[in-house]
Structure 1
Amino acid sequence: MARSPLILAASATTALPGTAFTSARALTENAGGRFDAALARTDDGRQVVVRMPATDDSAHDLAAESRALHALTAGVRALLPFAVPEVLGESGSGAQRVLITEHIHGYRIDPAHLPKGPGYAPAIGGALAAVHALPVSIVRTDGLPVRSPEQIRDDVKRLLDRADATGRVSDDLMLRWRRALEVDDLWRFESAVVLGGATSASIVLADDDDAIPHVVGILDWAGLSVGDPAIDLRWLASAPLAADDVHDGYASAGDRSPDPLLRERARLYAELEFARWLVHGHDAGEADVVADAVALLDALADGVRGDHIVPDTRSDIDDAMALVESVPPVAAPGVVDTSMQTDAYDPEALSLYLSAERDRAAAAEALADALDERKNPDAETGAIHVDQLPEPDSVDPDATAPVDLDGWTAPATQGPALSGDTDGTSLWARPQTAESSHEPSTPEPAIRDHGDASLPIFRDGDHARDGDVDDEEDAARASRAALKRWGVSGDSA
């Protein structure tokens, strides 16, 4: 039998010695009948809330509430943009515990009646984000529960096993839940300080002078712990119209890393409440609770048939877009310094490269001078050097002709082009003349590369004569091989 407000006020005198109560009335807190509560007024004009547990089970919840409120010190409360009930007095234990807290003035909205749009829903989402932003050390210091994502996943698995053991859950639902349990991405989240079961009815609102609602306080701190932030959003399954706006307010007010699967886990937790209710009724032997849970589960199975908590069509692009939308805009950058600022720039390596380029150019110039000296008149006298003339008896008419490098006569004053070759400047270009526009009368053999540029290369019909190779022809062949090698090197640079 529920305690009357007068009995609660009388019990409160033991928790607040010397305090007289002038009035008391029943207070409904949407607590599901777990507590007997009254709103009482003291002789000094204060309004306080007096609560006592209605059952032995709720006694544990009231003790947890007291412990959590004591953990929220003045410094912690200063981090929140709303009020938290302060413990004014406490006495007794178990089912006789009396807890007195200050009263926060305002109104609350049941989830089923929470409207969509700006106002209520975004304000509630922002208040929950403020709780989740609290330092986790608050909970650790006071020895309150701390659960990692791995532990939370294991808790869900054990619940599924217990629900499945009752034999009252449909195969479709079990497959849906176990499938979500196996999605690794679903369980990659950052643990945070959570209320552990708050709803919109736990949040006290008030309207400002412009009739705009804002959060003035949060009740129900019994589940204070470190866990999954999605647990505080599971109630949105009962507020489908306002769910998007609550999530938007939560995302815009939070400063935590974006959680792309927050909604999916919140949906899973909401569905698992039915399984938890079933397990409770089964373990307690309460047939009416089991029947109620089975009816809820059957209705759920019909509503989600063919659906998955984490859609198969979800892709990495979807995750990326969700994260981009959650990141606040960044101000336009100022002037950007585009100068070279990297340790990869090595002046010594650059000097070696330039030195190699100069050596290559010098070698090319030396080769051009050698060709000029061998094949052209003396630059000053115009005479032919005597030591370059062949013996009279060994003169080969073809040997005295200009050296043909693949059908093209190398100019005496031009060395090999190392880079930026064009048809007009490259040593390897073949000018289109009347003679070169036709195929030669004798076939051009392919050049055979033996891996040594000094080896002689013969055309068809050529014969090597021991000790009787013309110096001019020998120089031309060596020059041709050297130019060939430089040309390949230039193409690969």
Structure 2
Amino acid sequence: MARSPLILAASATTALPGTVFTSARVLTENAGGRFDSAVARTDDDREVVVRMPAGDEGAHDLAAESRALHALTAGVRALLPFAVPEVLGESGSGAQRVLVVDRIDGYRIDPGQLPKGPGYAPAIGGALAAVHALPASIVRTDGLPVRTAEQVRDDVRRLLDRADATGRVSDDLMLRWRRALDVDDLWRFESAVILGGATSSSIVLADDADGIPHVVGVLDWAGLSVGDPAVDLRWLASAPAAADDVHEGYAAAGDRSPDPLLRERARLYAELEFARWLVHGHDAGQVDVVDDAVALLDALADGVRGDHIVPDTRSDIDDAMALVESVPPVSTPGRVDTSMQTDAYDPEALSLYLAVERDRAAAAEALAVAMDDRANPDAATGAIHVDQLPEPDGVDRDATAPVDLDGWGDDAPRAAAADAAGTPDQRDATTGTADTSEGASSHADPARDTVVDDEEDALRASRAALRRWGVSGDPA
């Protein structure tokens, strides 16, 4: 039977000796019934949160919560852009443990009710990125769990073996999970500090003066450890509408190396929660839990049939990323879109990008073939080869020195420029009198000189190319 708020307030006096509580009310925390919780008000008008475990599982989690909050020293908390509950007092142990922390004022949103778009979802993603950016030393120093990528993979393998041993998981699901387990790229990630079981309801939000939500606190630190960051994003399977925005906020706020398969691992962990629930019920001998887990697994199998956690087309994604990295930077005004450098790429936009790149490559290849195959011009492409051009008079094809083609002497660019500009009389008739005095030339427009230089350079380059073609010899 759950303890009443008054009993919890009375128990809190053992954790905070000398404190007088004037009122208490029930606190709903969506903790799955693991704790009995209440908000109590002291005689100095402070509000505190009092928790006691509801069973053995809750006792373990409450002890882990206390240990994690003690590990978050003042220096560590200064690295975070939000508040973390501070332990004010505690007493007892096991099922009689009492933990009192300060209350962070704000509101929380359940995953299923998290809306898409700017605001809530990006703010929550940014808060999780801030946790993952904490130095791993704070976890190692306090002896909290630390798991490498390979150890995380081994944990998943053991869970699959235990779930398979129950004989209650469909072959399709087991094949799906083991196939993901065998993809080496899926398990190449950088371990980070994680909450170990966060959801959107672990994030406390508040609105600023303009009504824009921001994160003011993060709760549920019992799973504090070093492990896979995707664990803290598995809950997004319950918030599909907001998943993209959470990932975008996470990528924008993070300073870690991009993790291209973060979403895929988060999805795998979400599905494995059903397998974990099955193993729990099987080991505990609880038939109702097993039946519930089997029903969930069957529904999952129907929903993902024919799908893979790591798509077979991932090689196309790799190719696109390589193409993006090979493109030289171009200075353009406005904000630069770096979404392709993150794991938050848009698959539809990516497929369009791949189609454009393939068309461009095909066109370049066709042009190259047309230029190289001079013996057999490609009539389909309409390419004009050098062999088809009229050969200038007096050109020795066996000569080894450059040959000056007719009309392309050193004076050709200047002659062409003079012809384009016309005679002084012609310029007078069209644009007014042309001043050719020294005084006028000293005030010439630098931009016009630059244009003329560019034209001469272009003509000179064209002349050199034609010279090379003219003495290239017979086709191989």
Task: Provide TM-score, normalisation by structure 2.
Answer: 0.69
Structure 1 position 325, deviation (Å)? 2.6
- Equivalent in the alignment of 1:81: 81
SS at 1:240 equivalent: coil
What is the 5 A alignment of 1:245-256? Answer: 245-256=245-256
SS at 2:161 equivalent: helix
Q: For 1:319 and 1:195, how far apart are their aligned partners in 2?
A: 31
* Higher helix proportion: 2
> Aligned in 2, Cα 1:319/1:287: closer, same or farther, shift over 3 Å?
farther
The question of 1:217 aligning with 2:217 is answered yes
- Give percent identity, aligned residues only: 85
Q: For 1:218 and 1:322, how far apart are their aligned partners in 2?
A: 37
> Aligned in 2, Cα 1:422/1:41: closer, same or farther, shift over 3 Å?
closer
Give 2:2's aligned amino acid.
A
- Equivalent in the alignment of 1:294: 294
Q: For 1:35 and 1:118, how far apart are their aligned partners in 2?
A: 33
- Equivalent in the alignment of 1:124: 124
For 1:277-330, what per-residue CA distance to the aligned partner results, in whole angstroms no more than 9, with x for missing partners?
0000000000000000000000000000000000001112255479863549xx
Q: 2:319 aligns with which of 317, 320, 330?
A: 317
What is the 5 A alignment of 1:206-355? Answer: 206-315=206-315, 316-320=318-322, 325=339, 327=341
Gaps of 5+ in 2: 326-337, 343-398, 405-476
CA contact (8 A) 1:21 1:43 kept: yes
- Equivalent in the alignment of 1:181: 181
- Equivalent in the alignment of 2:437: none
For 1:324-356, what per-residue CA distance to the aligned partner results, in whole angstroms no more than 9, with x for missing partners?
63549xxxxxxxxxxxxxxxxxxxxxxxxxxxx
CA contact (8 A) 2:80 2:131 kept: yes
CA contact (8 A) 1:258 1:326 kept: no
CA contact (8 A) 1:108 1:204 kept: yes
Q: For 2:170 and 2:195, how far apart are their aligned partners in 1?
A: 31
Q: 2:401 aligns with which of 412, 421, 424?
A: 421
Give 1:219's aligned amino acid.
L
- Equivalent in the alignment of 1:172: 172
- Equivalent in the alignment of 2:71: 71
- Equivalent in the alignment of 1:434: none
The question of 1:191 aligning with 2:191 is answered yes
- Equivalent in the alignment of 1:407: none
Give 2:154's aligned amino acid.
D
SS at 1:209 equivalent: coil
Structure 1 position 57, deviation (Å)? 1.4
Q: For 2:324 and 2:60, how far apart are their aligned partners in 1?
A: 40
CA contact (8 A) 2:321 2:340 kept: no
The question of 1:104 aligning with 2:104 is answered yes
- Equivalent in the alignment of 2:466: none
What is the 5 A alignment of 1:23-172? Answer: 23-172=23-172
> Aligned in 2, Cα 1:168/1:16: closer, same or farther, shift over 3 Å?
same
SS at 1:303 equivalent: helix
Give 1:3's aligned amino acid.
R
Q: For 1:79 and 1:226, how far apart are their aligned partners in 2?
A: 17
Structure 1 position 105, deviation (Å)? 0.3
> Aligned in 2, Cα 1:45/1:302: closer, same or farther, shift over 3 Å?
same
- Equivalent in the alignment of 2:380: none
Q: For 1:119 and 1:321, how far apart are their aligned partners in 2?
A: 33
> Aligned in 2, Cα 1:245/1:142: closer, same or farther, shift over 3 Å?
same
Q: For 2:323 and 2:221, how far apart are their aligned partners in 1?
A: 35
For 1:474-493, what per-residue CA distance to the aligned partner results, in whole angstroms no more than 9, with x for missing partners?
xxxxxxxxxxxxxxxxxxxx
SS at 2:217 equivalent: strand
Q: For 1:282 and 1:109, how far apart are their aligned partners in 2?
A: 32
Give 2:70's aligned amino acid.
H
SS at 1:259 equivalent: coil
- Equivalent in the alignment of 2:474: none
Give 1:310's aligned amino acid.
V
SS at 1:297 equivalent: helix
For 1:69-99, what per-residue CA distance to the aligned partner results, in whole angstroms no more than 9, with x for missing partners?
0000000000000000000000000000000
Structure 1 position 58, deviation (Å)? 1.1
Structure 1 position 193, deviation (Å)? 0.3
SS at 2:314 equivalent: coil
Q: For 1:54 and 1:166, how far apart are their aligned partners in 2?
A: 29
Give 2:55's aligned amino acid.
T
What is the 5 A alignment of 1:442-453? Answer: none
The question of 1:4 aligning with 2:18 is answered no
> Aligned in 2, Cα 1:114/1:311: closer, same or farther, shift over 3 Å?
same
Q: For 1:327 and 1:18, how far apart are their aligned partners in 2?
A: 56
Q: For 1:326 and 1:8, how far apart are their aligned partners in 2?
A: 51
Give 1:79's aligned amino acid.
L
> Aligned in 2, Cα 1:146/1:211: closer, same or farther, shift over 3 Å?
same
SS at 1:31 equivalent: coil
Gaps of 5+ in 1: 329-418, 425-493
For 1:100-121, what per-residue CA distance to the aligned partner results, in whole angstroms no more than 9, with x for missing partners?
0000000000000000000000
SS at 1:168 equivalent: coil
> Aligned in 2, Cα 1:105/1:423: closer, same or farther, shift over 3 Å?
closer
What is the 5 A alignment of 1:366-445? Answer: 421=401
Give 1:82's aligned amino acid.
F
Give 1:52's aligned amino acid.
M
Q: For 1:236 and 1:325, how far apart are their aligned partners in 2?
A: 20
Larger Rg: 1
Structure 1 position 421, deviation (Å)? 3.1
- Equivalent in the alignment of 2:371: none
> Aligned in 2, Cα 1:13/1:423: closer, same or farther, shift over 3 Å?
closer
Q: For 2:205 and 2:26, how far apart are their aligned partners in 1?
A: 20
Give 2:113's aligned amino acid.
H
For 1:46-82, what per-residue CA distance to the aligned partner results, in whole angstroms no more than 9, with x for missing partners?
1000000000111000000000000000000000000
Corresponding pairs, count: 334
- Equivalent in the alignment of 1:487: none
Give 2:148's aligned amino acid.
S
Q: For 2:171 and 2:15, how far apart are their aligned partners in 1?
A: 52
Question: What is the root-mean-square deviation in Å for CA atoms of aligned residues?
Answer: 1.6
Task: Provide TM-score, normalisation by structure 1.
Answer: 0.66
